[in-house]
Structure 1
Amino acid sequence: MDTEGPLKLSAEQVQFYQDNGYLVINRLINFASLYTYKKRFNQISNGLVPRGLMTIVKERRLMDSSKKPEDYLNKLQDFLFDDVLSTYAEDPRLLDVVSQFVGSDITAMHSMLINKPPGTGEHPPHQDLYYFPFRPADKIVAAWTAIDEVTYENGCLYVIAGTHKDANLHEHDYTSITSKMYHGIVDATLAPENKRIHLEMSPGDTVFFHPYLIHGSRPNVSKNYRKSISCHFANSNVEFVDVTGTVQERIAKETEVESKRRGFDFTFQEIWKYRSKEVRKTKPMSKY
Protein backbone atom coordinates (compact mmCIF):
# COMPACT_ATOMS: atom_id res chain seq x y z
CA MET A 1 0.00 0.00 0.00
CA ASP A 2 1.16 3.52 -0.81
CA THR A 3 1.83 5.30 2.49
CA GLU A 4 2.55 8.75 1.10
CA GLY A 5 -0.06 11.50 1.26
CA PRO A 6 -3.74 11.42 2.24
CA LEU A 7 -5.53 8.11 1.88
CA LYS A 8 -8.49 8.40 -0.47
CA LEU A 9 -10.97 5.55 -0.66
CA SER A 10 -11.99 4.31 -4.08
CA ALA A 11 -15.60 4.45 -5.22
CA GLU A 12 -15.67 0.66 -4.94
CA GLN A 13 -14.51 0.75 -1.32
CA VAL A 14 -17.12 3.34 -0.38
CA GLN A 15 -19.83 1.31 -2.10
CA PHE A 16 -18.70 -1.87 -0.31
CA TYR A 17 -19.01 -0.09 3.05
CA GLN A 18 -22.45 1.26 2.16
CA ASP A 19 -23.64 -2.18 1.05
CA ASN A 20 -22.10 -4.29 3.79
CA GLY A 21 -21.55 -1.97 6.76
CA TYR A 22 -17.83 -2.69 7.04
CA LEU A 23 -14.57 -2.27 5.14
CA VAL A 24 -11.14 -3.82 5.73
CA ILE A 25 -8.00 -1.93 4.70
CA ASN A 26 -4.84 -4.00 4.84
CA ARG A 27 -1.63 -2.79 6.51
CA LEU A 28 -3.07 0.62 7.37
CA ILE A 29 -1.12 0.96 10.64
CA ASN A 30 2.65 0.44 10.50
CA PHE A 31 4.66 -2.09 12.50
CA ALA A 32 6.51 0.54 14.54
CA SER A 33 3.21 1.91 15.87
CA LEU A 34 1.89 -1.57 16.66
CA TYR A 35 5.07 -2.39 18.59
CA THR A 36 4.70 0.85 20.55
CA TYR A 37 1.08 0.03 21.49
CA LYS A 38 2.01 -3.48 22.63
CA LYS A 39 4.94 -2.16 24.70
CA ARG A 40 2.68 0.43 26.34
CA PHE A 41 0.12 -2.26 27.19
CA ASN A 42 2.81 -4.29 28.93
CA GLN A 43 4.08 -1.23 30.83
CA ILE A 44 0.60 -0.36 32.09
CA SER A 45 -0.50 -3.91 32.85
CA ASN A 46 2.65 -4.53 34.91
CA GLY A 47 2.35 -1.23 36.78
CA LEU A 48 5.54 0.24 35.32
CA VAL A 49 3.79 3.47 34.29
CA PRO A 50 0.62 5.10 35.70
CA ARG A 51 -2.62 4.13 33.99
CA GLY A 52 -3.93 7.69 34.25
CA LEU A 53 -7.60 7.94 33.27
CA MET A 54 -7.71 4.48 31.75
CA THR A 55 -9.92 1.68 33.04
CA ILE A 56 -8.35 -1.78 33.29
CA VAL A 57 -10.84 -4.56 32.54
CA LYS A 58 -10.00 -8.02 33.86
CA GLU A 59 -11.21 -11.46 32.80
CA ARG A 60 -11.88 -12.46 36.41
CA ARG A 61 -12.44 -16.15 35.81
CA LEU A 62 -8.87 -16.39 34.48
CA MET A 63 -7.26 -14.68 37.47
CA ASP A 64 -6.96 -17.65 39.82
CA SER A 65 -4.96 -19.73 37.37
CA SER A 66 -2.84 -16.87 36.01
CA LYS A 67 0.66 -15.83 37.02
CA LYS A 68 0.97 -12.54 35.14
CA PRO A 69 -1.44 -9.72 34.26
CA GLU A 70 -1.28 -10.41 30.52
CA ASP A 71 -2.99 -13.75 31.21
CA TYR A 72 -6.14 -12.15 32.65
CA LEU A 73 -6.30 -8.50 31.53
CA ASN A 74 -8.97 -8.17 28.88
CA LYS A 75 -8.54 -4.55 27.86
CA LEU A 76 -7.40 -1.02 28.59
CA GLN A 77 -10.29 1.35 28.05
CA ASP A 78 -10.37 5.12 27.49
CA PHE A 79 -6.77 5.74 26.41
CA LEU A 80 -7.43 9.02 24.59
CA PHE A 81 -5.41 11.02 27.12
CA ASP A 82 -2.47 8.62 27.29
CA ASP A 83 0.56 10.12 25.55
CA VAL A 84 1.39 6.90 23.71
CA LEU A 85 -1.86 5.08 22.94
CA SER A 86 -3.64 8.29 21.93
CA THR A 87 -1.45 8.40 18.82
CA TYR A 88 -3.62 5.61 17.39
CA ALA A 89 -6.76 7.78 17.52
CA GLU A 90 -4.77 10.65 16.01
CA ASP A 91 -3.08 8.68 13.23
CA PRO A 92 -3.41 10.87 10.09
CA ARG A 93 -4.11 8.04 7.65
CA LEU A 94 -6.65 6.45 9.98
CA LEU A 95 -8.40 9.83 10.23
CA ASP A 96 -8.23 10.23 6.45
CA VAL A 97 -10.46 7.16 6.18
CA VAL A 98 -12.71 8.14 9.10
CA SER A 99 -13.31 11.57 7.57
CA GLN A 100 -14.76 9.95 4.46
CA PHE A 101 -17.42 8.30 6.63
CA VAL A 102 -18.27 10.95 9.23
CA GLY A 103 -16.97 14.26 7.86
CA SER A 104 -13.94 16.48 8.44
CA ASP A 105 -14.58 17.47 12.07
CA ILE A 106 -13.83 14.34 14.09
CA THR A 107 -14.13 13.49 17.78
CA ALA A 108 -12.80 10.24 19.22
CA MET A 109 -15.50 8.87 21.52
CA HIS A 110 -14.49 5.45 22.83
CA SER A 111 -11.09 3.77 22.83
CA MET A 112 -9.84 0.31 23.78
CA LEU A 113 -6.70 -1.78 23.57
CA ILE A 114 -8.02 -5.34 23.73
CA ASN A 115 -5.78 -8.18 24.90
CA LYS A 116 -8.04 -11.29 24.70
CA PRO A 117 -5.81 -13.87 26.43
CA PRO A 118 -6.18 -17.62 25.87
CA GLY A 119 -9.37 -18.92 27.47
CA THR A 120 -11.35 -15.72 26.88
CA GLY A 121 -14.94 -16.37 25.85
CA GLU A 122 -16.85 -14.94 22.93
CA HIS A 123 -18.14 -11.39 22.74
CA PRO A 124 -21.80 -12.02 21.84
CA PRO A 125 -23.44 -10.46 18.78
CA HIS A 126 -24.21 -6.79 19.45
CA GLN A 127 -24.53 -3.35 17.89
CA ASP A 128 -22.18 -0.64 19.07
CA LEU A 129 -24.86 2.04 18.82
CA TYR A 130 -26.56 0.37 21.78
CA TYR A 131 -23.86 1.93 24.00
CA PHE A 132 -23.94 5.42 22.48
CA PRO A 133 -26.32 8.28 23.40
CA PHE A 134 -25.45 10.37 20.34
CA ARG A 135 -26.79 10.54 16.80
CA PRO A 136 -27.03 10.37 13.83
CA ALA A 137 -25.70 6.85 13.44
CA ASP A 138 -24.37 7.54 9.95
CA LYS A 139 -21.92 10.02 11.47
CA ILE A 140 -20.32 7.37 13.69
CA VAL A 141 -17.76 4.75 12.66
CA ALA A 142 -15.54 2.25 14.46
CA ALA A 143 -11.92 1.52 13.56
CA TRP A 144 -10.47 -1.80 14.81
CA THR A 145 -6.84 -2.71 14.09
CA ALA A 146 -5.11 -6.06 14.56
CA ILE A 147 -1.93 -5.78 16.64
CA ASP A 148 -1.29 -9.52 16.60
CA GLU A 149 -2.21 -12.02 13.92
CA VAL A 150 -5.98 -12.46 14.28
CA THR A 151 -7.35 -15.91 13.45
CA TYR A 152 -10.51 -17.95 13.78
CA GLU A 153 -8.92 -19.87 16.65
CA ASN A 154 -7.73 -16.89 18.70
CA GLY A 155 -10.98 -14.95 18.58
CA CYS A 156 -11.37 -12.97 15.36
CA LEU A 157 -14.24 -10.59 14.80
CA TYR A 158 -17.24 -11.66 12.78
CA VAL A 159 -19.84 -9.47 11.09
CA ILE A 160 -23.33 -10.00 9.71
CA ALA A 161 -22.99 -8.07 6.47
CA GLY A 162 -25.73 -5.61 5.57
CA THR A 163 -27.45 -5.58 8.98
CA HIS A 164 -26.76 -1.86 9.33
CA LYS A 165 -29.29 -1.11 6.59
CA ASP A 166 -32.30 -1.81 8.82
CA ALA A 167 -31.31 1.12 11.07
CA ASN A 168 -32.98 -0.80 13.88
CA LEU A 169 -31.49 -1.01 17.36
CA HIS A 170 -32.33 -4.43 18.78
CA GLU A 171 -32.96 -5.44 22.39
CA HIS A 172 -29.74 -6.33 24.25
CA ASP A 173 -29.17 -8.11 27.56
CA TYR A 174 -26.72 -10.48 29.23
CA THR A 175 -26.64 -13.59 27.07
CA SER A 176 -23.62 -15.90 26.84
CA ILE A 177 -21.31 -14.16 29.34
CA THR A 178 -21.78 -12.24 32.56
CA SER A 179 -18.97 -9.68 32.44
CA LYS A 180 -20.15 -6.16 33.20
CA MET A 181 -21.75 -4.39 30.23
CA TYR A 182 -21.06 -7.19 27.76
CA HIS A 183 -24.63 -7.19 26.55
CA GLY A 184 -25.63 -9.17 23.48
CA ILE A 185 -28.62 -9.17 21.15
CA VAL A 186 -31.42 -11.17 22.75
CA ASP A 187 -32.79 -12.55 19.47
CA ALA A 188 -30.14 -15.10 18.46
CA THR A 189 -31.75 -15.56 15.03
CA LEU A 190 -30.35 -12.16 14.03
CA ALA A 191 -26.79 -13.54 14.00
CA PRO A 192 -26.98 -17.12 12.69
CA GLU A 193 -23.72 -19.03 12.35
CA ASN A 194 -24.14 -19.42 8.58
CA LYS A 195 -24.33 -15.63 8.12
CA ARG A 196 -21.22 -14.79 10.12
CA ILE A 197 -18.28 -13.50 8.08
CA HIS A 198 -15.12 -14.12 10.08
CA LEU A 199 -12.44 -11.46 9.68
CA GLU A 200 -9.02 -13.06 9.96
CA MET A 201 -6.51 -10.21 9.85
CA SER A 202 -2.77 -9.59 9.82
CA PRO A 203 -1.04 -7.01 12.07
CA GLY A 204 -1.86 -3.49 10.89
CA ASP A 205 -5.03 -4.52 9.02
CA THR A 206 -7.94 -2.30 10.03
CA VAL A 207 -11.67 -2.83 9.75
CA PHE A 208 -14.08 0.09 9.77
CA PHE A 209 -17.71 -0.63 10.59
CA HIS A 210 -21.08 1.06 11.03
CA PRO A 211 -22.58 1.33 14.56
CA TYR A 212 -25.79 -0.48 13.51
CA LEU A 213 -23.82 -3.45 12.14
CA ILE A 214 -24.36 -6.68 14.07
CA HIS A 215 -20.99 -8.16 14.99
CA GLY A 216 -19.14 -10.04 17.72
CA SER A 217 -15.98 -12.04 18.28
CA ARG A 218 -15.14 -15.68 18.77
CA PRO A 219 -13.64 -17.18 21.93
CA ASN A 220 -9.87 -17.53 22.09
CA VAL A 221 -9.30 -21.29 22.03
CA SER A 222 -5.64 -20.96 20.99
CA LYS A 223 -2.54 -20.64 23.17
CA ASN A 224 -1.79 -17.15 21.89
CA TYR A 225 -2.88 -13.64 22.90
CA ARG A 226 -4.99 -11.68 20.45
CA LYS A 227 -4.27 -8.00 20.84
CA SER A 228 -6.08 -5.30 18.90
CA ILE A 229 -6.66 -1.57 19.28
CA SER A 230 -9.90 0.20 18.54
CA CYS A 231 -11.57 3.60 18.57
CA HIS A 232 -15.06 4.83 17.77
CA PHE A 233 -15.21 8.17 16.02
CA ALA A 234 -18.08 10.58 15.46
CA ASN A 235 -18.58 13.84 13.66
CA SER A 236 -17.92 16.56 16.21
CA ASN A 237 -21.41 17.99 15.61
CA VAL A 238 -23.40 14.89 16.62
CA GLU A 239 -26.24 15.53 19.06
CA PHE A 240 -26.66 13.80 22.41
CA VAL A 241 -30.06 12.20 22.94
CA ASP A 242 -32.17 11.00 25.87
CA VAL A 243 -32.42 7.20 25.83
CA THR A 244 -35.10 6.96 28.52
CA GLY A 245 -37.81 4.49 27.50
CA THR A 246 -35.68 2.93 24.74
CA VAL A 247 -33.77 -0.35 24.48
CA GLN A 248 -30.72 1.62 25.67
CA GLU A 249 -32.20 2.55 29.05
CA ARG A 250 -30.73 -0.49 30.83
CA ILE A 251 -27.16 0.10 29.67
CA ALA A 252 -27.52 3.81 30.49
CA LYS A 253 -28.51 3.03 34.09
CA GLU A 254 -25.79 0.42 34.43
CA THR A 255 -23.19 2.89 33.17
CA GLU A 256 -24.36 5.58 35.59
CA VAL A 257 -24.23 3.13 38.53
CA GLU A 258 -20.67 2.17 37.61
CA SER A 259 -19.76 5.86 37.39
CA LYS A 260 -21.11 6.48 40.91
CA ARG A 261 -19.20 3.45 42.21
CA ARG A 262 -16.04 5.21 41.05
CA GLY A 263 -16.98 8.44 42.82
CA PHE A 264 -18.59 10.38 39.98
CA ASP A 265 -22.16 11.54 39.55
CA PHE A 266 -22.60 11.93 35.80
CA THR A 267 -25.49 11.23 33.47
CA PHE A 268 -25.08 8.75 30.62
CA GLN A 269 -24.68 11.63 28.20
CA GLU A 270 -22.15 13.46 30.40
CA ILE A 271 -20.03 10.33 30.76
CA TRP A 272 -19.64 10.15 26.98
CA LYS A 273 -18.91 13.85 26.67
CA TYR A 274 -16.15 13.74 29.27
CA ARG A 275 -14.44 10.67 27.85
CA SER A 276 -14.28 12.08 24.29
CA LYS A 277 -11.54 14.09 22.57
CA GLU A 278 -11.57 16.12 19.37
CA VAL A 279 -8.88 14.75 17.06
CA ARG A 280 -9.38 16.60 13.77
CA LYS A 281 -10.94 19.93 12.91
CA THR A 282 -11.55 21.50 9.51
CA LYS A 283 -8.70 23.83 8.70
CA PRO A 284 -9.71 27.43 7.92
CA MET A 285 -9.44 28.46 4.28
CA SER A 286 -6.18 30.14 3.28
CA LYS A 287 -6.36 33.80 2.26
CA TYR A 288 -4.15 33.14 -0.72
Structure 2
Amino acid sequence: MTELSNTYIVSDEQRRFYDENGYLVIKGLLDFATLYNYKQRFLQICKGTVDKGNITVVKEISLKDKGVTGENLINKLQEIHYDDVFMTYTEHPRVLEVVSQFIGQDLRVMNSMFINKPPGSVSHPPHQDLYYFPFRPVEKIIAAWTAIDDVTIENGCLYVIPKSHKQGILYPHAILTGASRLYHGVQHAAPEDARVHLEMSPGDTVFFHPLLVHGSGANVSKRHRKCVTAHYASERCAYVSVRGTVQEHIAREVEAEAGRRGFELSFEDTWKIKSKSITLPSKL
Protein backbone atom coordinates (compact mmCIF):
# COMPACT_ATOMS: atom_id res chain seq x y z
CA MET A 1 0.00 0.00 0.00
CA THR A 2 1.40 3.39 -0.98
CA GLU A 3 1.80 5.77 1.96
CA LEU A 4 0.03 9.08 1.44
CA SER A 5 2.04 12.28 1.44
CA ASN A 6 1.33 14.79 4.21
CA THR A 7 0.89 17.43 1.52
CA TYR A 8 -2.33 18.08 -0.37
CA ILE A 9 -2.55 21.12 -2.61
CA VAL A 10 -6.05 22.35 -3.48
CA SER A 11 -6.24 23.07 -7.21
CA ASP A 12 -7.65 26.27 -8.67
CA GLU A 13 -10.59 24.25 -10.01
CA GLN A 14 -11.31 22.79 -6.55
CA ARG A 15 -11.11 26.23 -4.97
CA ARG A 16 -13.55 27.65 -7.50
CA PHE A 17 -15.94 24.74 -6.85
CA TYR A 18 -15.83 25.39 -3.10
CA ASP A 19 -16.33 29.13 -3.50
CA GLU A 20 -19.28 28.59 -5.84
CA ASN A 21 -21.00 25.65 -4.13
CA GLY A 22 -19.95 25.93 -0.49
CA TYR A 23 -18.44 22.46 -0.23
CA LEU A 24 -15.68 20.30 -1.69
CA VAL A 25 -15.29 16.50 -1.57
CA ILE A 26 -11.72 15.18 -1.74
CA LYS A 27 -11.59 11.47 -2.50
CA GLY A 28 -9.30 9.23 -0.45
CA LEU A 29 -7.80 11.98 1.68
CA LEU A 30 -7.11 9.58 4.58
CA ASP A 31 -5.87 5.99 4.49
CA PHE A 32 -7.45 2.79 5.81
CA ALA A 33 -5.03 2.27 8.72
CA THR A 34 -5.76 5.73 10.08
CA LEU A 35 -9.52 5.19 9.86
CA TYR A 36 -9.21 1.77 11.52
CA ASN A 37 -7.49 3.37 14.54
CA TYR A 38 -10.43 5.76 15.00
CA LYS A 39 -12.97 2.97 14.77
CA GLN A 40 -11.08 0.89 17.34
CA ARG A 41 -10.85 3.85 19.73
CA PHE A 42 -14.59 4.39 19.44
CA LEU A 43 -15.25 0.74 20.29
CA GLN A 44 -12.89 0.92 23.28
CA ILE A 45 -14.84 3.88 24.66
CA CYS A 46 -18.15 2.11 24.01
CA LYS A 47 -16.92 -0.90 26.01
CA GLY A 48 -15.36 1.23 28.76
CA THR A 49 -11.92 -0.33 28.31
CA VAL A 50 -10.24 3.10 28.11
CA ASP A 51 -10.85 6.32 30.03
CA LYS A 52 -13.04 8.62 27.95
CA GLY A 53 -11.56 11.69 29.61
CA ASN A 54 -13.53 14.82 28.72
CA ILE A 55 -15.33 13.18 25.81
CA THR A 56 -19.12 13.46 25.94
CA VAL A 57 -20.94 10.25 24.97
CA VAL A 58 -24.27 10.98 23.25
CA LYS A 59 -26.89 8.25 22.99
CA GLU A 60 -29.47 7.99 20.20
CA ILE A 61 -32.70 9.16 21.84
CA SER A 62 -34.91 7.26 19.40
CA LEU A 63 -33.27 3.95 20.45
CA LYS A 64 -33.11 4.44 24.23
CA ASP A 65 -36.40 2.64 24.88
CA LYS A 66 -35.72 -0.25 22.51
CA GLY A 67 -33.28 -2.13 24.70
CA VAL A 68 -30.20 -1.65 22.53
CA THR A 69 -26.84 -1.15 24.22
CA GLY A 70 -23.20 -0.28 23.56
CA GLU A 71 -22.23 0.48 19.98
CA ASN A 72 -25.84 0.11 18.85
CA LEU A 73 -27.01 2.88 21.19
CA ILE A 74 -24.21 5.44 20.91
CA ASN A 75 -24.91 8.18 18.36
CA LYS A 76 -21.68 10.11 18.75
CA LEU A 77 -18.71 11.14 20.85
CA GLN A 78 -18.24 14.90 21.24
CA GLU A 79 -15.12 16.95 22.04
CA ILE A 80 -12.66 14.31 20.89
CA HIS A 81 -9.84 16.70 20.01
CA TYR A 82 -8.01 16.21 23.33
CA ASP A 83 -8.01 12.41 23.05
CA ASP A 84 -4.60 10.95 22.17
CA VAL A 85 -5.98 8.90 19.28
CA PHE A 86 -8.73 11.13 17.91
CA MET A 87 -6.49 14.20 17.95
CA THR A 88 -4.53 12.56 15.16
CA TYR A 89 -7.59 13.33 13.03
CA THR A 90 -8.20 16.91 14.18
CA GLU A 91 -4.47 17.56 13.76
CA HIS A 92 -3.88 15.30 10.76
CA PRO A 93 -1.37 16.94 8.40
CA ARG A 94 -3.49 16.29 5.28
CA VAL A 95 -6.63 17.70 6.89
CA LEU A 96 -4.82 20.76 8.23
CA GLU A 97 -3.08 21.29 4.90
CA VAL A 98 -6.46 21.66 3.17
CA VAL A 99 -8.05 23.69 5.98
CA SER A 100 -5.16 26.17 6.03
CA GLN A 101 -5.51 26.81 2.29
CA PHE A 102 -9.06 28.01 2.90
CA ILE A 103 -8.87 29.91 6.21
CA GLY A 104 -5.16 30.55 6.87
CA GLN A 105 -2.31 29.15 8.93
CA ASP A 106 -3.33 30.24 12.45
CA LEU A 107 -5.89 27.62 13.45
CA ARG A 108 -8.10 26.52 16.32
CA VAL A 109 -10.12 23.33 16.36
CA MET A 110 -13.46 24.50 17.77
CA ASN A 111 -15.52 21.33 17.82
CA SER A 112 -14.98 17.65 17.01
CA MET A 113 -17.07 14.49 16.88
CA PHE A 114 -16.94 10.81 16.09
CA ILE A 115 -20.40 10.06 14.71
CA ASN A 116 -21.61 6.45 14.79
CA LYS A 117 -25.24 6.68 13.56
CA PRO A 118 -26.46 3.16 14.40
CA PRO A 119 -29.28 1.45 12.50
CA GLY A 120 -32.59 3.10 13.40
CA SER A 121 -31.06 6.54 13.94
CA VAL A 122 -33.25 9.45 12.94
CA SER A 123 -32.35 12.16 10.42
CA HIS A 124 -30.36 15.27 11.29
CA PRO A 125 -32.48 18.25 10.20
CA PRO A 126 -31.19 20.74 7.62
CA HIS A 127 -29.15 23.41 9.38
CA GLN A 128 -26.23 25.81 9.10
CA ASP A 129 -23.24 25.28 11.35
CA LEU A 130 -22.82 29.01 11.92
CA TYR A 131 -26.05 28.92 13.95
CA TYR A 132 -24.04 27.25 16.73
CA PHE A 133 -20.99 29.52 16.54
CA PRO A 134 -20.59 32.89 18.35
CA PHE A 135 -17.46 33.86 16.40
CA ARG A 136 -16.80 35.56 13.08
CA PRO A 137 -15.94 36.21 10.27
CA VAL A 138 -17.67 33.38 8.45
CA GLU A 139 -14.99 33.14 5.77
CA LYS A 140 -12.49 32.09 8.43
CA ILE A 141 -14.47 29.03 9.54
CA ILE A 142 -14.62 25.63 7.85
CA ALA A 143 -15.71 22.05 8.61
CA ALA A 144 -14.03 18.76 7.69
CA TRP A 145 -16.09 15.51 7.62
CA THR A 146 -14.46 12.17 6.79
CA ALA A 147 -16.27 8.90 6.02
CA ILE A 148 -14.98 5.91 7.98
CA ASP A 149 -17.50 3.45 6.55
CA ASP A 150 -19.17 3.48 3.16
CA VAL A 151 -21.73 6.28 3.42
CA THR A 152 -24.92 5.89 1.38
CA ILE A 153 -28.40 7.36 1.17
CA GLU A 154 -29.67 4.19 2.86
CA ASN A 155 -27.51 4.59 5.96
CA GLY A 156 -28.02 8.34 6.24
CA CYS A 157 -25.38 10.17 4.22
CA LEU A 158 -24.96 13.93 4.31
CA TYR A 159 -26.88 16.08 1.87
CA VAL A 160 -26.07 19.67 0.96
CA ILE A 161 -27.88 22.54 -0.73
CA PRO A 162 -25.24 23.81 -3.17
CA LYS A 163 -24.76 27.59 -3.26
CA SER A 164 -26.93 28.10 -0.15
CA HIS A 165 -24.00 29.89 1.51
CA LYS A 166 -23.90 32.57 -1.20
CA GLN A 167 -26.97 34.39 0.14
CA GLY A 168 -24.93 35.38 3.18
CA ILE A 169 -28.00 34.66 5.34
CA LEU A 170 -28.11 32.88 8.69
CA TYR A 171 -31.65 31.53 8.74
CA PRO A 172 -33.87 31.25 11.82
CA HIS A 173 -33.66 27.72 13.21
CA ALA A 174 -36.22 25.88 15.33
CA ILE A 175 -36.70 22.56 17.09
CA LEU A 176 -38.21 20.35 14.40
CA THR A 177 -40.44 17.32 14.97
CA GLY A 178 -38.47 14.17 15.69
CA ALA A 179 -35.12 15.92 16.13
CA SER A 180 -32.83 15.34 19.10
CA ARG A 181 -32.22 17.99 21.75
CA LEU A 182 -29.94 20.83 20.53
CA TYR A 183 -30.56 19.71 16.93
CA HIS A 184 -32.32 22.74 15.52
CA GLY A 185 -33.14 23.06 11.84
CA VAL A 186 -34.34 25.40 9.12
CA GLN A 187 -37.88 24.86 7.89
CA HIS A 188 -37.93 25.98 4.27
CA ALA A 189 -34.31 26.37 3.09
CA ALA A 190 -33.71 22.74 2.09
CA PRO A 191 -36.31 21.57 -0.45
CA GLU A 192 -36.01 17.90 -1.40
CA ASP A 193 -35.34 18.62 -5.07
CA ALA A 194 -32.38 20.89 -4.23
CA ARG A 195 -30.55 18.36 -2.07
CA VAL A 196 -27.32 16.78 -3.31
CA HIS A 197 -26.60 13.55 -1.45
CA LEU A 198 -22.92 12.94 -0.72
CA GLU A 199 -22.38 9.20 -0.95
CA MET A 200 -18.77 8.62 0.06
CA SER A 201 -16.19 5.87 0.47
CA PRO A 202 -13.90 5.42 3.50
CA GLY A 203 -11.30 8.19 3.59
CA ASP A 204 -13.29 10.58 1.40
CA THR A 205 -13.51 13.98 3.08
CA VAL A 206 -15.89 16.86 2.51
CA PHE A 207 -15.01 20.42 3.53
CA PHE A 208 -17.85 22.91 3.82
CA HIS A 209 -18.72 26.53 4.56
CA PRO A 210 -20.48 27.41 7.86
CA LEU A 211 -23.46 28.98 6.05
CA LEU A 212 -24.04 25.96 3.79
CA VAL A 213 -27.43 24.37 4.49
CA HIS A 214 -26.92 20.65 5.03
CA GLY A 215 -28.28 17.68 6.97
CA SER A 216 -28.39 13.91 6.86
CA GLY A 217 -31.00 11.22 6.40
CA ALA A 218 -32.18 8.50 8.77
CA ASN A 219 -30.24 5.26 8.89
CA VAL A 220 -32.71 2.72 7.50
CA SER A 221 -29.99 0.13 6.78
CA LYS A 222 -28.66 -2.62 9.05
CA ARG A 223 -25.18 -1.04 9.09
CA HIS A 224 -23.64 1.71 11.18
CA ARG A 225 -22.58 4.94 9.48
CA LYS A 226 -19.33 6.02 11.07
CA CYS A 227 -17.49 9.26 10.35
CA VAL A 228 -15.21 11.72 12.11
CA THR A 229 -15.56 15.48 11.83
CA ALA A 230 -14.13 18.75 13.11
CA HIS A 231 -14.75 22.47 12.78
CA TYR A 232 -11.89 24.91 12.48
CA ALA A 233 -11.63 28.67 12.86
CA SER A 234 -8.81 31.11 12.33
CA GLU A 235 -7.14 32.38 15.51
CA ARG A 236 -8.00 35.80 14.09
CA CYS A 237 -11.73 35.22 14.55
CA ALA A 238 -13.41 37.26 17.27
CA TYR A 239 -16.29 36.35 19.58
CA VAL A 240 -19.53 38.24 19.06
CA SER A 241 -22.70 38.65 21.08
CA VAL A 242 -25.68 36.73 19.70
CA ARG A 243 -28.27 38.39 21.94
CA GLY A 244 -31.19 39.67 19.91
CA THR A 245 -30.25 37.50 16.90
CA VAL A 246 -31.55 34.22 15.45
CA GLN A 247 -28.87 32.47 17.56
CA GLU A 248 -30.23 33.61 20.92
CA HIS A 249 -32.41 30.50 21.31
CA ILE A 250 -29.55 28.04 20.90
CA ALA A 251 -27.32 30.19 23.11
CA ARG A 252 -29.81 29.90 25.96
CA GLU A 253 -30.12 26.15 25.45
CA VAL A 254 -26.34 25.69 25.55
CA GLU A 255 -26.09 27.81 28.70
CA ALA A 256 -28.89 25.79 30.31
CA GLU A 257 -27.10 22.55 29.39
CA ALA A 258 -23.93 23.84 31.08
CA GLY A 259 -26.03 24.71 34.13
CA ARG A 260 -27.37 21.15 34.32
CA ARG A 261 -23.76 20.00 34.48
CA GLY A 262 -22.97 22.40 37.30
CA PHE A 263 -21.26 25.18 35.32
CA GLU A 264 -22.26 28.80 34.92
CA LEU A 265 -20.92 29.59 31.48
CA SER A 266 -21.94 31.96 28.72
CA PHE A 267 -22.45 30.67 25.18
CA GLU A 268 -19.20 32.34 24.17
CA ASP A 269 -17.26 30.92 27.14
CA THR A 270 -18.27 27.35 26.31
CA TRP A 271 -16.51 27.71 22.96
CA LYS A 272 -13.47 29.43 24.46
CA ILE A 273 -13.02 26.62 26.97
CA LYS A 274 -13.44 23.65 24.66
CA SER A 275 -11.53 24.96 21.62
CA LYS A 276 -7.84 24.19 21.10
CA SER A 277 -5.06 26.01 19.33
CA ILE A 278 -3.19 23.80 16.88
CA THR A 279 0.15 24.11 15.16
CA LEU A 280 0.62 23.17 11.53
CA PRO A 281 3.27 20.49 10.93
CA SER A 282 6.66 21.82 9.89
CA LYS A 283 7.56 21.28 6.24
CA LEU A 284 11.29 21.17 6.99
- TM-score normalized with structure 2 length: 0.96
Structure 1 gaps, min length 5: none
Secondary structure of 1:64 counterpart? helix
**Which residue number in structure 2 is paired with residue 222 of structure 1?**
221
**Which residue number in structure 1 is paired with residue 27 of structure 2?**
26
- Report deviation, 1:72: 1.2
Segments of 4+ in structure 1 off by > 2 A?
Answer: 1-5, 63-68, 280-283
1:81 is aligned to 2:82: yes
Counterpart-to-counterpart distance in 2, 1:26 and 1:178: 30
Secondary structure of 1:234 counterpart? strand
1:116 is aligned to 2:117: yes
Secondary structure of 1:6 counterpart? coil
Secondary structure of 2:66 counterpart? coil
- Report deviation, 1:2: 8.4
Over 3 Å counting, the alpha-carbon distance change for 1:178 and 1:219 in structure 2 is closer
Counterpart mapping for 1:26-45 below 5 A: 26-45=27-46
Deviation per residue, 1:31-50 (Å, 9 max, x gap):
11110100010111111111
- Report deviation, 1:280: 2.3
Among all aligned residue pairs of Structure 1 and Structure 2, give the percentage whose two residues are the same amino acid: 54
Deviation per residue, 1:187-233 (Å, 9 max, x gap):
x2x11111000000000000000000000001100000000000000
CA contact (8 A) 2:147 2:202 kept: yes
Opposite residue 179 of structure 1, the aligned amino acid is S
Opposite residue 51 of structure 1, the aligned amino acid is K
Structure 2 gaps, min length 5: none
**Which residue number in structure 2 is paired with residue 265 of structure 1?**
264
CA contact (8 A) 1:105 1:282 kept: no
Count of residue pairs brought into register by the alignment: 283
- Report deviation, 1:281: 5.3
- TM-score normalized with structure 1 length: 0.95
Deviation per residue, 1:121-166 (Å, 9 max, x gap):
1101100000000000000000000001000100000000001011
- Report deviation, 1:64: 2.9
Secondary structure of 2:65 counterpart? coil
CA contact (8 A) 2:155 2:220 kept: yes
Over 3 Å counting, the alpha-carbon distance change for 1:119 and 1:74 in structure 2 is same
Counterpart mapping for 1:102-251 below 5 A: 102-186=103-187, 188=188, 190-251=189-250
Counterpart-to-counterpart distance in 1, 2:246 and 2:3: 43
Counterpart-to-counterpart distance in 2, 1:4 and 1:232: 23
Opposite residue 248 of structure 2, the aligned amino acid is E
Counterpart-to-counterpart distance in 2, 1:46 and 1:281: 33
CA contact (8 A) 1:22 1:161 kept: yes
Over 3 Å counting, the alpha-carbon distance change for 1:264 and 1:39 in structure 2 is same
